[in-house]
Amino acid sequence: MTNPTQTRMKEQKTYQFPTDFWWGTASSATQMEGAAFEGGKGLNIWDYWYMQEPNRFFNGVSATEASNFYHLYEEDIALMKELGHNTFRFSISWSRLFPQGVGEVNEEAITFYNNVINCLIDHGIEPFINLYHFDMPMALQEQGGWESREVVEAYVTFAKTCFELFGDRVEKWFTHNEPIVPVEGGYLYDFHYPNVVDFKRAVQVAYHSILSSAMAIESYRDMGQSGQIGIILNLTPSYPRSQHPADLSAARIADAMFNRSFLDPSVLGTFPQELVDVLKSEDAMPQMEAGDLELIREHTVDLLGINYYQPRRVKAKASLPNPDAPFLPENLFDFYEMPGRKMNPYRGWEIYEKGIYDILINLKENYGNIPCFISENGMGVEGEERYRDENGSVQDDYRIDFIREHLKWMHQAIEEGSKVKGYHLWTFMDNWSWSNAYKNRYGFVGIDLDTQQRTVKKSGYWFKELIEAKGFTE
């Protein structure tokens, strides 16, 4: 007799995405370009910090060569086309365009970015350009970086110059990528230069980043540019351990500090009251000028990029923090490890696919269903060489599973009315990562660092098929 459970076919479901969905990948200048000391580029904080403390970077590897996109962009863009991309996000290196941060523009940089943009367009790939991805020009860091109002002005000049130079062909602009990360890394938790630990200074940096974004949006619109301008935020939904009021309140405050701090001003033009209350009680309100808040209120984004990697699990604070230690957001809550959580052990990040749905539904319900897209999602894995087949192609079924499970939840959100318009993987080809250098590999395309040879991984071909079919069935 046949066992009915053996013969019963698993019910198949098709996940079909809109025909005009944006499929592609994301990258950043410092992580991909290389040529850090070529083409007239000035130093940025990564070049400088590496010179000071090479031991801070995994295996002592700098971003000097990175993935050599500066020289190989034509080959790389042709490969993007082959893998079905219709969109690609990269950033303009501020210190390549303005070696001193302000003043003289570097003609070689203009040529390079024109070539990249034109090459993408020639291949039917729409360029999405981000202006700031953690890479402060060193000359401006010496003037205080984002703590300085003059640097905000310099950034606006940089932004306007980019709109003038490239805005005739580029219709999707982003003012910042994950602006909270330089705040956390550079001014709270010591993982970016300038390695300051000071809550008040961190708040000033955050405030100036938000202000600079609104000012760039104002300029974009004043210049009568025809595309859309937005910001890219890393949203990490805060889940409470329990429904106990203290756990709920811990999750709310974590959400205000890590998500709403940038999401609310960017999309609604306002700041969350819970956040303002903390800043006041810590005597950490930033310096503002008359008219700033109005400018922020009136220049919210057209489009929101969402980087989603992991959730944040939070519980009520169990013990009093050391009153003499520097104030940190975690003085107000504790992190919580969910029992049975799924992990990416290489990056130490929890994998929670439903988070992508929760973010999209939150945007739909509380942020006017702002048009958005998943601007980063991905899985960094150490030692991927061990998964290479005889042709050198990494058989990364884990990455395919990771993407597919996130796409299912994104699809569910679309069915429920979310205005999510695309999905970009982090990243196209393995690239250099801030302090982890080349430890964890994220790309659809593997790179042999000795030869700079590119080899498409199994996930790259899978993604190509998915794009051609505009979805998948399983």
* Integer Cα distance of 76 and 206 in angstroms: 34
Question: Considering the rule CB under 6 A, would residue 344 count as an interface residue with ligand BGP?
Answer: no
Half-sphere exposure of 184 (CA within 13 A, CB side): 12
Whether 271 contacts 286, CB under 8 Å = no
Q: Least Å distance between CB 110 and ligand BGP?
A: 24
Whether 375 contacts 89, CB under 8 Å = yes
* Integer Cα distance of 80 and 88 in angstroms: 8
Instruction: Tell me the number of residues near ligand BGP by CB under 6 A.
Output: 15
Active-site residue 376, yes or no?
Answer: yes
Residue 262, token pair as written in the block: 């940038």
Q: Least Å distance between CB 17 and ligand BGP?
A: 23
Q: Between 161 and 436, name the residue whose CB sits nearer to ligand BGP.
A: 436
Question: Considering the rule CB under 6 A, would residue 426 count as an interface residue with ligand BGP?
Answer: yes
Candidates 5-13, 195-203, 280-288, 430-438 — which segment interacts with ligand BGP by CB under 6 A?
Answer: 430-438
Q: Between 15 and 88, name the residue whose CB sits nearer to ligand BGP.
A: 88
* Integer Cα distance of 93 and 376 in angstroms: 19
Question: Considering the rule CB under 6 A, would residue 230 count as an interface residue with ligand BGP?
Answer: no
Q: Between 63 and 210, name the residue whose CB sits nearer to ligand BGP.
A: 63
Phi/psi of residue 23, each to 5°? -120, 130
Residue 175, token pair as written in the block: 């003012």
The only residue of 98, 146, 434, 472 in contact with ligand BGP, by rule CB under 6 A: 434
Question: Considering the rule CB under 6 A, would residue 177 count as an interface residue with ligand BGP?
Answer: yes
Question: Considering the rule CB under 6 A, would residue 178 count as an interface residue with ligand BGP?
Answer: yes
Catalytic pick among 126, 178, 376, 384: 376
Phi/psi of residue 347, each to 5°? -95, -15
Spell out where 98-145 has E strands: 126-130
The only residue of 17, 21, 22, 28 in contact with ligand BGP, by rule CB under 6 A: 28
Residue 288, token pair as written in the block: 């503002």
Whether 261 contacts 206, CB under 8 Å = yes
Q: Between 254 and 279, name the residue whose CB sits nearer to ligand BGP.
A: 254
CA distances from 278 to 98, 131, 283, 329, 467 (A): 37, 30, 8, 9, 45
Binding mask 118-157 for ligand BGP (x = CB under 6 A): ----------------------------------------
DSSP state of 9: P
Q: Between 126 and 376, name the residue whose CB sits nearer to ligand BGP.
A: 376
Sequence-distant contacts of 187-192: CB under 8 A, at least 24 apart: 188/328, 188/329, 189/328, 191/434, 191/435, 192/45, 192/49, 192/134, 192/434
Question: Considering the rule CB under 6 A, would residue 376 count as an interface residue with ligand BGP?
Answer: yes
Give the chain's length.
Answer: 474
Q: Look at residues 374, 394, 392, 388 and name the one whose alpha carbon lies nearest to residue 444.
A: 394
Q: Look at residues 123, 122, 24 and name the one whose alpha carbon lies nearest to residue 421.
A: 24
Q: Look at residues 45, 280, 232, 37 and name the one whose alpha carbon lies nearest to residue 144.
A: 45
The only residue of 85, 315, 347, 364 in contact with ligand BGP, by rule CB under 6 A: 347
Whether 230 contacts 299, CB under 8 Å = no
Q: Between 47 and 376, name the residue whose CB sits nearer to ligand BGP.
A: 376
Question: Considering the rule CB under 6 A, would residue 262 count as an interface residue with ligand BGP?
Answer: no
Question: Considering the rule CB under 6 A, would residue 91 count as an interface residue with ligand BGP?
Answer: no
165-183 as b/e: b if 16+ CB within 10 A: bbbeebebbbbbbbbbbbb
Q: Which residue's structure tokens are 């999510």?
A: 420
Question: Considering the rule CB under 6 A, would residue 213 count as an interface residue with ligand BGP?
Answer: no
Q: Which residue's structure tokens are 């991309």?
A: 85
Chain residue at closest Cβ approach to ligand BGP: 433
Candidates 151-159, 277-285, 318-326, 432-440 — which segment interacts with ligand BGP by CB under 6 A?
Answer: 432-440
The only residue of 440, 454, 460, 463 in contact with ligand BGP, by rule CB under 6 A: 440
The only residue of 95, 234, 236, 310 in contact with ligand BGP, by rule CB under 6 A: 234
Candidates 14-22, 177-185, 319-327, 350-358 — which segment interacts with ligand BGP by CB under 6 A?
Answer: 177-185
Candidates 55-63, 176-184, 202-210, 240-248 — which segment interacts with ligand BGP by CB under 6 A?
Answer: 176-184
Binding mask 155-174 for ligand BGP (x = CB under 6 A): --------------------
Q: Look at residues 213, 212, 219, 254 and name the one whose alpha carbon lies nearest to residue 232.
A: 213
Binding mask 290-329 for ligand BGP (x = CB under 6 A): -----------------x----------------------
Q: Mind telling me the catalytic residues?
A: 376
Residues interacting with ligand BGP, by CB under 6 A? 28, 31, 177-178, 181, 234, 307, 347, 376, 380, 426, 433-434, 436, 440
